[in-house]
Amino acid sequence: MTAATPGPAPEAPLFDKVALVGVGLIGSSLAHVLRRKGLARRIAGCAQSQASRDKILELGLADSAHAEAGAAVEDADLVVVCTPIGTYAGIGEAMAPRLKRGAIVTDVGSVKQAVIRDLGPLLPEGVHFVPGHPIAGTELSGPEAGFAELFERRWCVLTPPPGTDEQAVERVAALWRACGSDVEIMEAGHHDKVLAMTSHLPHIIAYTIVGTATDLETSTQAEVVKFSAGGFRDFTRIAGSNPIMWRDIFLNNREAVLEILQRFSEDLTALQRAIRWGEGETLESLFRRTREIRDEVVEAHQAGSFDPREPDAAETAPPAPGKTTHPSD
């Protein structure tokens, strides 16, 4: 695929110290970009296990690795929370007393209303809060899973609460543009509804399909694995995502997920009826409409695998990097 041209490298680091609370796929990928482009003078990492902290230092992802969030965020200009959403309240309580005035706290979680609910009230006065969601990833996890190109030609959605300092929002947007992403400013509730359709529902379908396969008779199950074609193989890739992270996403975006899941169930029932009664025209009409959606995804440069280093279906020119849009644009 043709990689997006990264945003221009800043003349000076965007931040003196960045603290990454959680250094899995997203956190480690961000660390790679910070290192490669000189976006921070110092990086502190935070991870629960000693093995992860050792790996962080071994890979050069951070200058220091800490077991406690409070120690990691000491004197940080930017704090990026990169852990499952269910951990946010505890992390907020741990780091709040150590945050310096003027610091910016952001995150990478896939549900924004819950982030604002759980983390926002814990932050002290004078600390800026800019929730974010880079829409990028693979099914892999851990410090060794990251790579700097993960965010190129992807969107990052920022959902700052009303009244958030505009300069803080722009600094976070500048960080993601430097990562090669385009930035969209969106209201948190709207974000959660959109992602329930584009991300959360596909994951729950993948988990269900792969779960159904595991319940088949042993002989059939072995053949399913042996003869996995592209469709089932891709479902297994999605279903291989971090189970704790996705448990927290579904529980914290349950209303939007249940709403879209009900709509999907109704559509699935209609499709089942069309197959049962041999309604070929109905099936073909649906398949033609969905093919048009796929073409639009390709034209928007959002096609291909989760890993942008793998070949993309569309060898087309990338969009102009460093773009920030609002819903009204």
* Confidence at residue 320, expressed as pLDDT on a 0 to 100 scale: 46
Six-digit token string for 193 = 């509804």
List, as one string, the DSSP characters of 85-136. Answer: GGGHHHHHHHHGGGPPTT-EEEE--S-HHHHHHHHGGGSPTT-EEE-EEE--
Instruction: Tell me which of 307 and 5 has the higher pLDDT.
Output: 307
Radius of gyration of the chain (CA): 21
* Confidence at residue 218, expressed as pLDDT on a 0 to 100 scale: 73
15-187 belongs to which CATH class?
Answer: alpha beta
Q: Are 39 and 178 in contact (CB under 8 A)?
A: yes
Q: Which helix H or strand E contains 157, and what residues bound it? A: strand 155-158
Look at residue 321 and tell me whether its pLDDT is greater than 90. no
pLDDT level of residue 23 (50, 70, 90 thresholds): very high
Q: Where are the domains of the chain?
A: 15-187, 191-299
* Confidence at residue 179, expressed as pLDDT on a 0 to 100 scale: 97
Look at residue 212 and tell me whether its pLDDT is greater than 50. yes
Which amino acid does the sequence have at 160? Answer: P
- C-alpha span between 169 and 185 (Å, rounded): 9
- Buried b or exposed e, range 32-63, using 16+ CB within 10 angstroms: bbbbebebbebbbbbbeeeebbebbeebebbe
List, as one string, the DSSP characters of 208-257. Answer: HHHHHHHTS-HHHHHHHHHT--HHHHHHHHHHTS-HHHHHHHHHHTHHHH
Question: Which of 255-259, 281-285, 308-312 is the least confident region?
Answer: 308-312
Look at residue 263 and tell me whether its pLDDT is greater than 70. yes
Instruction: Tell me which of 303 and 56 has the higher pLDDT.
Output: 56
* Confidence at residue 277, expressed as pLDDT on a 0 to 100 scale: 96
Q: Taking the domain 191-299, which CATH number applies? A: 1.10.3660.10
Q: Are 306 and 206 in contact (CB under 8 A)?
A: no
pLDDT in tens, 167-181: 999 999 999 999 999
Q: What is the mean pLDDT of residues 318-326?
A: 51
* Confidence at residue 1, expressed as pLDDT on a 0 to 100 scale: 27
pLDDT in tens, 75-127: 999 999 999 999 999 999 999 999 999 999 999 999 999 999 999 999 999 99
pLDDT level of residue 217 (50, 70, 90 thresholds): low
- Buried b or exposed e, range 208-231, using 16+ CB within 10 angstroms: eebeebeeeeeeeeeebeeeeeee
Largest CA distance in the chain: 67
* Confidence at residue 225, expressed as pLDDT on a 0 to 100 scale: 77
pLDDT level of residue 303 (50, 70, 90 thresholds): low
Look at residue 266 and tell me whether its pLDDT is greater than 50. yes
